[in-house]
Structure 1
Amino acid sequence: MQFPDDDNGKMLAAMAEAGIDLTKALDVDFFLIFDDQRDAESAVEELSQSELEGELELHLNDELGKWELIVCINMVPEYQAIVDQEVELNEFAAEFGGATDGWGVMQHQEGDDEFADHDHECDDDCHH
C-alpha cells in the first residue's frame, strides 16, 4: 500500500507495517488543543450538539500545559478521509482559539486478540 510522503501518510504506513488492517473501521482519535479552558469547554458544547458522530473527551494535558479535546471517530482510516477530517476539525477548533494537534489510533481495537487473556479458561459462566 502506498501513502503520500507527509505526516499522515507516514502514520498510515507505520500502522500498516504494524499489521493494523486499514480496510476496517477503527476508532481514530483526533487531538484538538486550546490554551483556555472556557474556549475548550465551548468547543465541546458545540461539538456535542453537532451532527458529528463520535466520542468527546476533554482534559488538561500536563505535558503541553493546554486543554486537549480528543474527538474519537469510528472510521476507515483512508488517507483522504483523515486529511478531510483534520481540516474540518482544525477549522472548527480555530473558531474557539484552538488547533488540531494530530491524530492516532490505539493499538488495541475491538476484535484484536493481542491483549486477550490466554490463561483464561471458559466455563458455563463466560459471556464472550
Structure 2
Amino acid sequence: MNFPNDVDGDVLRRLDDSGFDFSKTWEIDFNVDFNSWPPSQEALNILEKEYGAIEIFEPEEESDGYVLFNITSIVSYELIVDTQRKASSLVSTFGGVCESWGVLH
C-alpha cells in the first residue's frame, strides 16, 4: 500500500508491514490534547456531541491529560487525517488539537 510521507503515513506503513487487515472494521482511538488543563466543559460537550462517548484521562506524573474518543471504521489515511482535522477544528478555540490516534490489533 502507498501512504503519504508524513507521521500518519508512517504509522499506516508500520501497520501494513505488521500484517494489519485494512479490509476489516476496527475501533480507532483518537486523542485530543489541550494546552491547559482541565479542558472547558464546552469543549468536552462539543466532542461528545460530534463523536459520542468520550473518556477523560487526567494528567499523571509523566503524561499530560487528554480526551479520547473512538470511531469504528475501516482504517484509511483519509479517515485518519479528516477526523484529526475536524476534531482539531471543533476545539481549537479552546486550545485543543487532535494529532494522535491508534488502533489495537
TM-score bracket for the superposition, by shorter chain length: 0.7 to 0.9
State the shift of 1:93 in Å: 2.2
CA gap of 1:101–1:61, structure 2 versus 1, over 3 A, is farther
Deviations 1:69-122 (A, max 9, x none): 011111111111111111001111212211123111123xxxxxxxxxxxxxxx
Structure 1 stretches of 4+ with a deviation exceeding 4 A read none
> Mapping of 1:1-128 within 5 angstroms?
1-34=1-34, 35-39=36-40, 41-50=41-50, 52=51, 54-62=52-60, 63-65=62-64, 67-107=65-105
CA contact (8 A) 1:58 1:70 kept: yes
Specify every segment of 5 or more residues in structure 2 that has no aligned partner in the other structure, as ranges: none
Give the alignment's Cα RMSD to 1 decimal: 1.7
State the shift of 1:61 in Å: 3.3
Output the TM-score relative to the length of structure 2: 0.85
Distance in 2 (CA, whole Å) between partners of 1:75 and 1:98 is 24
Distance in 1 (CA, whole Å) between partners of 2:39 and 2:67 is 12
Output the TM-score relative to the length of structure 1: 0.71
Specify every segment of 5 or more residues in structure 1 that has no aligned partner in the other structure, as ranges: 108-128
